[in-house]
Chain A
Amino acid sequence: MEYFKHIFGMFNAMLSDPWIIALIFGGSLAGLLVGVIPGLTATMALALLINISYGMPLERAVAFLLSVYVGATSGGLCSAIMINIPGTPAAAATALDGFQLAKQGKGGIAIGTGFIASFIGTVFSILVMLCLTPVLYLIAMKFGHWEMFLLALFGIMICGSLSTDKDPIKGWIVGFIGFAMSTVGMEAIYAYPRFTFGSLQLKGGVPLIATLIGIFGISEVIGVLQETVPYKIEGKIGRIIPPLGMFFKKLLPATIRSGIIGVIIGIIPGAGEDVGAWMAYDMGKRRSKDGDKFGTGVLEGVVCPEVANNAVIGGAMIPLLTLAIPGSPPAAMFLAAMNLHGVRPGPMLNIENPTFLPMVGAALMCASLAMLFWGLLLAKPMVGILKIKREILLPLVVPLTVIGAYSGGIRIFDVYLMLFAGVIGYCLRQMDYPLAPMVLGLILGPLADVSFRQALMQSRGQFLPLLERPIGLLLILAVIWIVWGGIKNARAYYKKIDAESEAG
């Protein structure tokens, strides 16, 4: 009861601070606008706007960044529906039915339904997060060094598997490259400089925010500008707000099912909003009475991915808050920002900063309300933004990425590193390598390194005592299961393309 009082208290405190309200509405709008533009993702929105939060008190920074996150995750649906190009990867599944609806002149209804679904998805995930996180804090307290190492490894493996449907091995490789990048700089146990090549600036390690901006910002700008495909807005947008009776009567089962899927995918480290959306769409297609009509323009085909991709947000916060393991790439950006504000998520967070979880819950709740408000109010002007050429919008992002990278450490060196990371990100994208595992590797690398060595210190260099720990054993089995499944999937993928190539 005390816990829920805390949450309502925090909610009231947020609503009584005009600055926080302004930041929530501003952040939500900024996120929506970034999300609408194809090529700019939620991760990029956070990367670009993170520097604004540096000088803010913690509550305002949390409220602002989470509003950007919620807004950007939802904003992608406008372009997915109106031009068949998802604004963010999270909205890719929405395009399948949304675009068909737009062609039938029901684009507005599809957008309105999408925003309502996104709101419900976020609220559902907040409730799950608020109920589940305190329980998981207790479980996380039982995790020792060995379990933390295995959890980091599990995160990389599952993220590598889920972020590419073709070849999970590519995801794993990229995840381990992230691990390797994280070893640059002074290591945490003996302060020994590793792979610094005599550079003083590299002794502090690879700057996380600058690297993420490079990987998600610069690589995206070059990639999108290189292959700009002209697009046109399909049909008239029409009415925005759908009949709410129909929404709750017909779409409720799909909403609940997709919310559950989204939260579960969110909890899985690094999986992200796009994975949640696709899984919910696929499940909707199989479970719905109108499953055979999916892809022809049914509202359920918009609701399933939109509820799920927003439900990932609250889900992704659960491992982030309890174990410092982000559930999605934008959550990784949020984690990086919180580290800068002196908050260290993990099992001890509840003791060190007991108001943080209620703060996140209240901020997400306000952010989802702001997103719904802007989404329904500004749907038409937001579609109008799509008329602006990407050749104008994307170059404007570059100075923002430079400021973002520079302001983290006030060093030009970080900007150079950002550009380098951008080139690596671009090359990996071109070769079909997913980038999310790399981000997760970069974040979890120090945890994996230190935990592994400390676990070995505790066991006096013996592996056998480590294998006797039940949670550890469970995680080892999970990793083996992921590797087994991944190899099977990769073999099936290659068999399929072999067969396709031979046939045609």
Chain B
Amino acid sequence: MPAKTQKLAGADFITAIILMALGAALSVDALRMRVYRTFLISPGFFPLILGALFIFFGLFLIYRSSRRGGYADAARILTPDNIKKSLVSPVFKKGFTVFLLILAYVALLGKIEFVYLSMGYLILTFLFLNAGKWYLVIPVAVIAPVLVQLAFVHLFKIPMP
């Protein structure tokens, strides 16, 4: 089986499983919803149709990917070795660290003053990304949140988190 096709097929296979699980969960929950007069006009009707559609799409993707060796490739993608290899790749590490910095920033919202929190977030992110010389990027990280705060609170009258 050609490599590119097989790679796509593996991804399709995994997506199909997730989609079918989502469809099943949606359908089960929809069937548990209260029925008013008839089910056709009840709150669960529309989600049930969507659940059925997801299961249908999942089955379709499984059929399509299986014809191209999707199962074998999905099994290869999900081996511990392959997962480990993906996790230690520089691109993943970089993206994940950027995400963690945003996560920490969001988690600390409301607990630390917005301006100081934003300064801290920006300094750490700039330093991690090697955005430039520290004496250039740190002033940017300090001034930007102050300007944003001033503009949003005083000019646009928008409350800060």
A interface residue numbers (CB < 8 A to B):
51-52, 54-55, 169, 172-173, 176, 179-180, 183, 187, 189-190, 192, 194-195, 218, 221-223, 225-227, 389, 391-392, 395-396, 398-400, 402-403, 406-407, 410, 412, 415-416, 419, 422-423, 426, 431, 448-449, 452-454, 456-457, 461, 494, 497-498, 500-502
Contacts and interface: CB of A to CB of B under 8 A. Distances in A.
B110 interface: yes
B110 A395 contact: no
A449 B46 contact: yes
A480 to B, nearest CB: 16
A498 to B, nearest CB: 5
A402 B148 CA distance: 12
Given A222-B95, A225-B94, A391-B126, A461 B109 contact: no
Interface of B: 2-5, 8, 11, 15, 19, 22, 26, 29, 33-34, 36, 38, 40-47, 50, 53-54, 57, 60-61, 64, 68, 91-92, 94-95, 98-99, 102-103, 105-106, 109-110, 114, 118, 121-122, 125-126, 129-132, 137, 140, 144-145, 148, 152, 156-161
Contacts of A172: 57
Given A453-B42, A461-B41, 8 more contacts: A51-B152, A51-B156, A173-B54, A221-B98, A222-B99, A391-B131, A396-B144, A416-B106
B5 A415 contact: no
A403 B129 CA distance: 23
Max count, chain A CB within 10 A of own CB: residue among B11, B41, B114, B152: B41
B122 A412 contact: no
Max count, chain B CB within 10 A of own CB: residue among A55, A398, A426: A398
Given A169-B57, A176-B50, A407 B130 contact: no
A180 B50 contact: yes
Contacts of B64: 494
Given A226-B98, A419-B102, A453 B121 contact: no
Contacts of A173: 19, 54, 57
A431 to B, nearest CB: 6
Nearest to A56: B156
A423 B99 contact: yes
A406 B38 CA distance: 40
Max count, chain A CB within 10 A of own CB: residue among B22, B46, B110, B125: B46
A502 B50 contact: no
A457 B38 CA distance: 9
A177 B102 CA distance: 25
A226 B92 CA distance: 7
Contacts of B92: 226
Contact of A222 (B4, B98, B148): B98
A500 B4 contact: yes
Max count, chain B CB within 10 A of own CB: residue among A173, A223, A452, A457: A173
B95 A453 contact: no
A405 to B, nearest CB: 9
B16 to A, nearest CB: 10
Given A403-B158, A494-B5, A183 B122 contact: no
B152 A403 contact: yes
Given A176-B54, A419-B103, A403 B2 contact: no
B98 A183 contact: no
A501 B106 contact: no
B19 A395 contact: no
5 contacts: A194-B33, A225-B129, A391-B131, A399-B148, A452-B46
A293 to B, nearest CB: 32
Contact of B158 (A54, A189, A415, A419): A54
A192 B34 contact: yes
Given A172-B57, A406-B161, A498 B98 contact: no
B144 to A, nearest CB: 6
A501 B45 contact: no
Contact of B161 (A52, A225, A415): A415
Nearest to A490: B64
Contacts of B47: 180, 183, 194-195
Given A222-B98, A453-B40, A400 B106 contact: no
Given A225-B129, A398-B105, A187 B43 contact: yes
Contacts of B45: 452-453
B102 A497 contact: no
B161 A402 contact: yes
A8 to B, nearest CB: 31
Given A392-B132, A392-B137, A398-B102, A189 B156 contact: no
A395 B57 contact: no
A407 B158 contact: yes
A224 to B, nearest CB: 10
A497 B125 contact: no
A501 B46 contact: no
